[in-house]
């Protein structure tokens, strides 16, 4: 029998992609923030008890990294207390929980890619609240998968890809941080990888693990690594190429640029110090995906291939589909 799946965060970058993929696995119940605000414990209880899901996929989060510095109570409520209550309710009804976390649980001092077993030491409030969410889930002992990912972008929503495209219509010169390393991960590729892991678990064939056996934390990011500066340059190259080719094939690009021309002529690398953000971010937040690959045979494409896919004429953004 197909499971009932409760999906939170369906309007987000990742959530909207999951909302179109998860129906392949089961019956999806996907309340939006008005129907299920993770800051409201009673709502969480009510929805969990009404929907009685076998699987809860939590793609909702407080993701505004800078705002979290001064809005810690809300960030903690959404990123830690809400997931704790989802986990508590899931355990109560015997459901399994899939939760997403972040590369920003690490402090970035390691030179090599981070392993799941490396110690977390977040530098900012967002990272601390996400780590608290992870810990609450583990402590409750609910059967869970925590997928840590990084630098999510999509052709919709608030993200670096769209910010660069907008800035490229406004400024001749962009100055972008070149000393923070990470792996930009497209929400669609991430959703596909997560769905593929779940599909293998639910298929329950001999080579695949059951959910309880798989229980734990997995890193799940694009392959490869880059800096924000290199990522920005790759975005502009892809956008200019798409604009030359057939811009009418990419309505999302016209919307991201307000149908204006790209005027940026120079992209300059700067240091984190020069950028002067009040929020600290790790210098290296590249995650090793070895465990995901070994346990599930799932590997995400290289970040450059993921970016190219967004600019392909075949790409259909999740938010352009009827909900």
Ligand X SMILES: NC(=O)c1ccc[n+]([C@@H]2O[C@H](COP(=O)([O-])OP(=O)(O)OC[C@H]3O[C@@H](n4cnc5c(N)ncnc54)[C@H](OP(=O)(O)O)[C@@H]3O)[C@@H](O)[C@H]2O)c1
By annotation, the residues acting in catalysis are 126
Instruction: Give the shortest CB-151-to-ligand X separation in angstroms.
Output: 5
Comparing CB distances to ligand X, the nearer of 247 and 304 is: 304
Sequence-separated (6 or more) residues with CB below 8 Å from residue 265: 172, 173
Instruction: Give the shortest CB-140-to-ligand X separation in angstroms.
Output: 18
Burial (CB count within 10 angstroms: exposed 0-12, middle 13-18, buried 19+), residue 222: buried
Comparing CB distances to ligand X, the nearer of 211 and 231 is: 231
Comparing CB distances to ligand X, the nearer of 9 and 301 is: 9
- Residues in touch with ligand X (CB under 6 A): 8-9, 11-15, 33, 36-39, 59-63, 78, 100, 102-103, 130, 149-152, 157, 187
Instruction: Give the shortest CB-250-to-ligand X separation in angstroms.
Output: 20
Comparing CB distances to ligand X, the nearer of 41 and 247 is: 41
Q: DSSP readout, 103-163?
A: GGGS-S--SSPBPTTSPP--SSHHHHHHHHHHHHHHHHT--EEEEEE-SEE-SSSSSHHHH
Instruction: Give the shortest CB-89-to-ligand X separation in angstroms.
Output: 15
Burial (CB count within 10 angstroms: exposed 0-12, middle 13-18, buried 19+), residue 273: exposed
Chain position whose Cβ is nearest to ligand X? 12
What's the Rg (C-alpha) of the chain? 19
Instruction: Give the shortest CB-78-to-ligand X separation in angstroms.
Output: 4
Burial 69-97 (b: 16+ CB within 10 A, else e): bebbeebbbbbbbbbbbbbbbbbeeebbb
Comparing CB distances to ligand X, the nearer of 149 and 200 is: 149
How far is the C-alpha of 311 from the C-alpha of 145, rounded, in Å? 31
């Amino acid at each position: 029998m197909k499971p009932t799946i409760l999906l939170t965060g369906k309007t987000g970058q990742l959530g909207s992609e999951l909302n179109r993929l998860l129906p392949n696995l089961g019956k999806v119940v996907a309340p939006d923030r008005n129907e299920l605000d993770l800051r409201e414990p009673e709502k969480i209880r009510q929805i969990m008890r009404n929907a009685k899901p076998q699987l809860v996929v939590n793609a909702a989060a407080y993701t505004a990294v800078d705002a979290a510095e001064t809005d810690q109570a809300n960030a903690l409520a959404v990123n830690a207390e809400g997931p704790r209550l989802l986990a508590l309710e899931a355990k109560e009804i015997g459901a399994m929980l899939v939760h997403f976390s972040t590369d920003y649980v690490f402090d970035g001092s390691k030179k090599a890619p981070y392993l799941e077993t490396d110690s977390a030491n977040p530098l900012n409030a967002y990272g601390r609240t996400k780590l608290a969410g992870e810990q609450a889930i583990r402590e409750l002992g609910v059967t869970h998968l925590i997928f840590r990912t990084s630098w999510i972008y999509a052709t919709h929503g608030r993200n670096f890809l769209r910010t660069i495209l907008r800035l490229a219509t406004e400024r001749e010169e962009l100055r972008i941080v070149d000393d923070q390393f990470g792996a930009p991960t497209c929400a669609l590729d991430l959703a596909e990888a997560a769905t593929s892991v779940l599909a293998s678990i639910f298929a329950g064939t001999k080579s695949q693990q059951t959910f309880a056996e798989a229980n734990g934390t997995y890193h799940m990011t694009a392959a490869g690594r880059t800096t924000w500066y290199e990522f920005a340059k790759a975005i502009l190259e892809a956008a200019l190429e798409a604009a030359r080719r057939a811009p009418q094939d990419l309505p999302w690009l016209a919307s991201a640029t307000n149908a204006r021309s790209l005027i940026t002529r120079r992209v300059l690398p700067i240091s984190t110090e020069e950028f002067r953000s009040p929020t600290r971010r790790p210098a290296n937040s590249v995650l090793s995906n070895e465990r995901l690959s070994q346990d599930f045979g799932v590997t995400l494409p290289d970040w450059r291939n993921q970016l190219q896919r967004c600019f392909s004429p075949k790409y259909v953004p999740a938010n352009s589909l009827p909900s």
